[in-house]
């Protein structure tokens, strides 16, 4: 009797296993997008930020990441932010669309790194506007959670506005530092020796074999002539002319800088935009 009761249970269990095998259930969960390596957030704050970041990422189909660190591994804040995004596997699609906000306690700097379509959404002007919010409503008071949340709120505001109609990318101009090479030192030494030698031999030739005549013979060496000069006013002229007002320059051919996104290459070779500010 017991065997007969166990047999149907075994069959039912086998059926359930087969159903799950052919129709697996997908368990939905949030993708980790907040990495508090500097331990600046409480558990509740981290959950709030992660929830907000996931909502925006899902809505605009990009990765929006928040990172804190105490050690930039010898990199600049910008390089650390770009590399964290690139080598962390973030970015949606073939252009790696996304945004990253870094609070770098090592260099005491906040930085926003943009990638893919994120570069178009957050122009230089918009990045500065978000940083204003970050500092005004959080970072200036040491409220790191408030700073990170203001980044997400500012990003959401500009994502809702869409890509500016005058948006364009401009490659960052790299300033080459002035360095003195070995050749510069050699040329300078040769030039200095040549100039000094010419001056030395020129002065020496002037003093060599000079006569000892009396240089203080005032009768032979002095000439005095007295003449009278008078200035007479002959005529006067008064000239009038109209000074034209300067005309405003026509800059219609130059693109407006309000839509500019300054971009650069990261160590991975990808293109990034963004900006940062010390605190």
Instruction: Report helix angle 43-60 to 144-161, nearest 10.
Output: 10
Strands (E), the chain: 34-36, 63-69, 98-104, 109-115, 168-171, 260-265, 271-278
3-state secondary structure of 242: coil
pLDDT digits (tens, 9 = 90+) for 78-125: 999 999 999 999 999 999 999 999 999 999 999 999 999 999 999 999
- Please state, for a pLDDT cut of 90, what percent of the chain lies above it: 57
| Ramachandran angles phi, psi of 263, nearest 5° | -120, 160
Phi then psi for 181, rounded to 5 degrees?
-90, 170
Work out the pLDDT band at 178, boundaries 50, 70, 90.
Answer: low
Tokens for 38, please give them.
Answer: 């500097």
Decide if pLDDT at 137 tops 80. Answer: yes
Closest among 132, 131, 133 to 114, alpha carbons compared: 131
> Confidence band (pLDDT; 50, 70, 90) for 242?
confident
Q: Which of 65-69, 103-107, 250-254 has the lowest mean pLDDT?
A: 250-254
Find the mean pLDDT for residues 160-174.
Answer: 94
Position 3 pLDDT exceeds 70: no
Residues in a beta bridge with 192:
none
| pLDDT tens-digit series, residues 184-238 | 678 877 877 777 777 667 776 766 655 555 555 666 666 666 667 777 777 776 7
Sketch the domain layout of the chain as residue ranges: 34-172+259-272
Contact status, residue 98 vs residue 62, Cβ threshold 8 Å = yes
The residue with greater pLDDT, 58 or 4, is 58
**How many angstroms separate the CA atoms of 111 and 132, rounded?**
12
Pick the CATH number of 34-172+259-272 from 3.90.550.10, 1.20.59.10, 3.40.50.720, 3.10.310.50: 3.10.310.50
Residue that wins the pLDDT comparison between 161 and 29: 161
> What are the start-end ranges of the H helices in 162-257?
182-207, 218-221
Distances in whole angstroms, Cα of residue 178 to Cα of each of 19, 175, 184, 264: 71, 9, 12, 21
Taking the model in full, what pTM does it have?
0.66
Bridge partner list, 101: 66, 112
User: Pairing state of beta strands 98-104 and 109-115?
Assistant: antiparallel
pLDDT at position 1 is 46
């Amino acid at each position: 009797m017991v065997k007969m009761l166990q047999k149907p249970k075994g069959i039912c269990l086998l059926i359930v296993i087969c159903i799950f095998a052919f129709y697996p259930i997908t368990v939905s969960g949030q993708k980790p997008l907040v990495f508090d390596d500097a331990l600046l957030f409480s558990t509740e704050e981290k959950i709030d930020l992660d929830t907000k970041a996931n909502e925006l990422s899902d809505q605009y189909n990009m990765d929006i990441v928040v990172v804190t660190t105490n050690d930039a591994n010898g990199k600049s804040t910008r390089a650390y932010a770009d590399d964290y995004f690139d080598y962390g596997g973030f970015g949606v699609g073939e252009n790696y669309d996304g945004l990253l906000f870094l609070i770098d306690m090592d260099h005491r700097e906040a930085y926003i790194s943009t990638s893919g379509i994120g570069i178009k959404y957050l122009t230089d002007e918009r990045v500065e506007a978000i940083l204003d919010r970050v500092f005004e409503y959080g970072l200036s008071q040491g409220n790191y959670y408030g700073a990170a949340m203001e980044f997400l709120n500012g990003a959401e505001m500009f994502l809702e506005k869409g890509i500016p109609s005058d948006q364009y990318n401009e490659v960052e101009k790299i300033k080459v530092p002035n360095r003195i090479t070995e050749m510069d030192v050699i040329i300078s030494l040769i030039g200095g020796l040549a100039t000094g030698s010419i001056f030395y031999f020129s002065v020496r030739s002037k003093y060599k074999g000079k006569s000892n005549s009396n240089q203080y013979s005032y009768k032979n060496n002095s000439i005095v002539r007295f003449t009278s000069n008078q200035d007479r006013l002959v005529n006067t002229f008064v000239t009038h002319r109209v000074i034209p007002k300067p005309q405003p320059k026509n800059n219609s051919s130059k693109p407006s800088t309000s839509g500019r996104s300054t971009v650069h290459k990261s160590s991975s070779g990808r293109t990034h935009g963004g900006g940062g500010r010390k605190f």
